[in-house]
Structure formats: C-alpha cells, structure tokens
Amino acid sequence: LAKTTQPISMDSYEGQEVNITCSHNNIATNDYITWYQQFPSQGPRFIIQGYKTKVTNEVASLFIPADRKSSTLSLPRVSLSDTAVYYCLVGDPGGSYIPTFGRGTSLIVHP
Amino acid sequence: NAGVTQTPKFRVLKTGQSMTLLCAQDMNHEYMYWYRQDPGMGLRLIHYSVGEGTTAKGEVPDGYNVSRLKKQNFLLGLESAAPSQTSVYFCASSSPTGRGTEAFFGQGTRLTVV
C-alpha cells in the first residue's frame, strides 16, 4: 500500500490559488491518486482522481508528473467555503482497494 | 437517492453499555467501511466488508464487532462502551468496478461515552 505524505496545514486568502502537494514515492503501476475534501462535522467527499498528467473538473485540477511520485491538487481562486481538510489517497481501483486516510492537510482560507 | 445513511446521528452512552450503529447504502455497493475520527486526526479504519456475509479487521478493531448480513447494511457494535470510544464514526461504501477508489460517506454518528 503506497504511503502518502502531505503538509499538515496551509493558510491562504480569498481569491488566491492554492496548491497542495502529496508525495507517494512507492506508488504502484496500477495505482490511481484520489483526493477527498472534508468539511467540519461532515464525512469526506470525493473531489478528483487521476492516473497521470493533468485532470480538471469543476472543483479542482490535479497535476501528476511523469514519475507519478507526487501529485498536486490545485484549487483556483479559493473562497472561505474551501476551508476544509484535504486528503490524498493512492490505490488500485481494480484490486481490493480499501481507502486509508492519513491526517490530511487542513486548509484555512482567510478573508 | 439517499446514498449512505447512518443511524443514529448522536448518542450518549454510559461506560459498559452496548449499542449498535447502523449504516445503510442504496447504491448496490459491494464494499462497506466503518471509520472513527478523533479531534485533529484523520479517519482510522475499524472494520470493513468486501461483500455480503464477509467482514475484516481494519487498523483499530478492538472493542468493536461488525456484521454484514445484507448487502445494503453494515452494522457496528460496541459490546461494552469505554470512554476511549468517544469519537465520530463514519460509514462509507464503494464499488470495485468503475472508479473503484471513490468512497461515499455518511453524515457521521457522534458518540460520547461517559
């Protein structure tokens, strides 16, 4: 199971772009990278997933370099409502994948 | 479409009491999970199930039991509650097909053991 490392906390201001990097040095060939977002008093929710290069949806972008040993979640023009904990997970969707969460990155967006 | 529903949302127990938390999903998912989350911590896996009638231990299984008698339900039991089990409990489900790493979570159960 690939271990992930991400910063414990980050601060930003409204309107800025936020980039959260996750390291996963021992990622396996079939592993995908998945990010979740958790607001206080709620369960985590899926925000984006990717295998390589770049993935973009209405919420975020995910950048994955060629060696796939890290990934960066990019949140464009954050607002106060983006204050949350962000988790990076790595796993093989075709295998018996059991989501394992670390402590995540606590993002605080200031006015 | 309700997704994942947890019952109850809040509960206060006395030390030594027992209770069962119910998780129900209506997405026909094969996999179901129980996590606990303590203040400032990530989610820790208690038990999980990869199909009806099967269960397995996660990272912190001691003091908990589970059952998956029906595909849509996953029950978490505390036989003799302890203050250390005060936590927020989350249930989740996922499917090994398609985007198999996407898990759907319930709204959580806040349990206090006094």
CA distance A97 to chain B (A): 7
pLDDT single digits (tens) B61-91: 999 999 999 999 999 999 999 999 999 999 9
Q: For every one of its 111 residues, what pLDDT tens digit does chain A have, with 9 covering 90 and above?
A: 568 999 999 999 999 999 999 999 999 998 999 999 999 889 999 999 999 989 999 999 999 999 999 999 999 999 999 999 999 999 887 777 888 898 899 999 999
Strand order in the sheet with B65-67: B4-7, B19-25, B73-78, B65-67
Q: Is A75 helix (H, G, I), strand (E, B) or coil?
A: strand
Q: What is the b/e burial string over B13-45, where b = at least 16 CB atoms within 10 angstroms of the residue's CB?
A: beeeeebebebbbeeebbbbbbbbbeeeebbbb
B60 close to A (CB below 8 A): no
Residue A32 to residue B103, Cβ atoms within 8 A: no
pLDDT single digits (tens) B29-67: 999 999 999 988 889 999 999 999 999 999 999 999 999
Residues from chain A contacting residue B106 (CB–CB below 8 Å)? 43
Residue B103 to residue A46, Cβ atoms within 8 A: yes
Residues from chain B contacting residue A24 (CB–CB below 8 Å)? none
Residues from chain B contacting residue A84 (CB–CB below 8 Å)? none
